[in-house]
Amino acid sequence: MPISVTCACGKSFETMVQMASHMARCPECGSKQSIPGVARHGDDVSRRQSYSAMLAGAAAPRSAASKRNEHKCNVVVGFVVGAVLLIGGVIAVLFLGPGKPKDATPSPQASADVNIPGGAAPPALSVVNETVASLFLDLGPQGRRVSVPPASPAKDNEMPRRQLCVFKGHTDWVTGVVFVSNNRIASASRDGTIRVWDVATQRELALCRGHSGGVESLAVSPDGLRLLSGGFDGTVRLWNPDSGEEVLRLEGALGPVYCVAFLPNGRYALAGDTEYVLDADGQIILRNKKPIMCVRLWELASGKELRRYEGNSGVVTSIAVSWDGKHIVSGDTAGNLVRWSIDSPDGKADWTHRHVVLASAFTLDGKLYTCALDGEIRVESPFGGSIRTSPKNKREVFAMAFSRHGRHAVTSTFDGLLHILNLETGAQVGELKGHGDWVGAVAISDDGRQIASGGGGKDTTVRLWGQ
């Protein structure tokens, strides 16, 4: 950058600033002259700073109008940047959900002291009490369970009306059916097997063998990755529905296991147990004068029994688990229903049916529905109190299932018919016919729009019903 310098001899000339010098030589007289604006050695401002300041040039005075325009520009830019950040945050929350620290762990909760076989103290069951939000997860394209049911229950005209397919393979009556995923169902039978069926191809995908007697009960884990079965041999077994492989065997039951269930987080299993055996004529033989009627809680990761819930006065035939995993209700052959907190072995008798309790279930709104052999249905509000309801054209039933929302139920009768009931009105809104004998098991899909059933007697088929 050229700088104009006036010499003492009166000669004016231009020179270039040099980083190493603050002097310039006059071409006329040869004397050295100081360059204006360049600091000398020892000055407060270094030559490098002075050089940079000169290259930048002195800032010209700014007018008030210029300052106002700059302020307006800064305000507009700040507003645009803030709006972009706000919109980005909203999109992240809606589509990605709130974040969770990787090291976040549930806080421990104290559990009641329980006498566990072997004298081991039971671990805290805070992990059992996980909310139902952890239950409904979409597992991707692998065809797993329908994770979240529709926001509204199925209407009467959306319930199944016809038979979609028939699965053949069992050689004895079917004791349990469950929906494993969008296109798979599983069935248990007294022939000692559990079979997994593909709805699209109507073929058997997997065969589970291991029980030494009939399979009396069947449940599917919340994520659809495991099946749980209870057998006449007194064992509870965990299965892989993809391969049919036995994953875990839980022993310790004193008699046939007629009901099993998972807790909502899928890490714990429940099974009804009664201390008795049957003689050659099928009559119950009690091992003790006061036989044990209980529900057992197992931890699946370790295979350890954590707790027993004793209080039923008959053979335990049904287990219901609340959607938050904090309460269980068991029904028995004496018609009794007993409720427990998951962390306490002290049960409370809720009410009594006149006949054997066939089914019990908590719905998404917190209500508890139960059904007895005589067709009587009862519902308990989450705010307390129970209502005894009898569907119109009440009849004796053999199997029963409730929809998740609690609007509909399906019952099977000994004439081989399936009856679809509207629980709000008590009216029958559908009837399905196809089995050649009585029906031993029924299930309703998560969305309430399909029904699976398993035959008994001479009819050992599994059937799927839909629109």
Query: Minimum mean pLDDT among 34-43, 120-129, 431-440: which range?
Result: 120-129
Residue 118 has pLDDT above 50, yes or no: no
Q: Is the pLDDT of residue 156 over 60?
A: yes
In the predicted structure, residue 55 carries a pLDDT above the cut 90: no
* Residue 449 pLDDT exceeds 60: yes
Distance between CA atoms of 176 and 186, rounded to whole angstroms? 8
Do 156 and 13 share a domain, yes or no? no
Please give the share of the chain, as a percent, with pLDDT higher than 90. Answer: 34
Could you report the per-residue pLDDT of 397-448, keeping only the tens digit for each? 889 999 988 889 999 988 899 999 988 888 889 999 999 999 999 999 988 8
Domains of the chain: total: 2
Q: Which of 23-37, 104-118, 298-312, 384-398 has the highest mean pLDDT?
A: 298-312
- The residue ranking higher by pLDDT, 63 or 370, is 370
Q: Is residue 44 part of a domain?
A: yes
Q: Are residue 163 and residue 298 in the same domain, yes or no? A: yes
Residues 37 and 174 in one domain: no
Tell me: do 48 and 140 sit in the same domain: no
Structure tokens given for 12 = 């004016």
pLDDT tens digits for range 256-309 = 899 999 999 999 999 998 766 555 665 655 555 566 788 999 999 999 999 989
Q: Containing domain of residue 45, as a range?
A: 2-54
202 confidence band (pLDDT: 50, 70, 90): very high
d(CA 114, CA 209): 34
Last residue of a domain, one of 15, 36, 54: 54
Which residue's structure tokens are 């016809």? 162
Sign of CA dihedral 322, 350, 338, 442: negative
Looking at the structure, do residues 8 and 140 belong to the same domain, yes or no? no
DSSP 48: H
CATH number of the domain residue 151 falls in: 2.130.10.10
Most confident of 44-58, 60-74, 402-416: 402-416
280 to each of 215, 277, 283, how far by Cα in Å? 19, 10, 7
Do 206 and 321 share a structural domain?
Answer: yes
Top-ranked range on mean pLDDT: pick from 203-207, 276-280, 374-378, 403-407? 203-207
For residues 39 and 143, membership in a common domain is answered with no
d(CA 156, CA 407): 9
Enumerate residues 6+ apart whose C-beta is below 8 A from 445.
146, 179, 451, 452
Over range 453-467, report the average pLDDT. 94
**Is 157 found in the same domain as 46?**
no
Alpha-carbon distances, residue 101 vs 98, 104, 106, 128 (angstroms) = 10, 5, 12, 20
Within this chain, do residues 43 and 156 fall inside the same structural domain, yes or no? no
Q: What's residue 382's pLDDT?
A: 61
Instruction: Examine the pLDDT at 135 and tell me if it is beyond 70.
Output: no
Contact 167, 462 (CB under 8 A): yes
At residue 231, does pLDDT exceed 70? yes
Rounded Cα gap, residues 10 and 43, in angstroms: 28
**Cα-only R_g, the chain:** 38
441 and 342 part of one domain: yes
pLDDT of 373 > 70? The answer is yes
34 and 143 in a single domain? The answer is no
In a domain, 119, yes or no: no
Q: pLDDT at residue 174 above 90?
A: yes
For residue 238, with 0-12 CB atoms within 10 Å meaning exposed, 13-18 middle and 19 or more buried, which class applies? buried
Task: Calculate the CA dihedral of residues 183, 410, 460, 200 and round it to 10 degrees.
Answer: -20
Q: Is residue 102 situated within a structural domain?
A: no
The alpha carbon torsion through 329, 333, 336, 339 (nearest 10 deg) reads -20
Question: What is the model's pLDDT at position 4?
Answer: 65
| Residues in CB range of 166: below 8 A, 6 or more apart | 202, 434, 461, 462, 463, 464
pTM: 0.67
pLDDT at 343: 85
Are 34 and 181 part of one and the same domain?
no
- The answer on pLDDT for 188 being more than 50 is yes
Residues 3, 14 contacting (CB under 8 angstroms): yes
pLDDT confidence tier of residue 74, bands split at 50, 70 and 90:
low
Q: What percent of the chain has pLDDT over 70?
A: 62
Tell me the torsion sign for CA atoms 161, 167, 172, 177: negative
Residue 200, pLDDT above cutoff 70: yes
CB-count exposure of residue 379 (10 Å: 0-12, 13-18, 19+): middle
Q: Is residue 424 part of a domain?
A: yes
In a domain, 322, yes or no: yes
Residues 236 and 228 sit within 8 Å (Cβ to Cβ): yes
> Is the residue at 76 inside a domain?
no
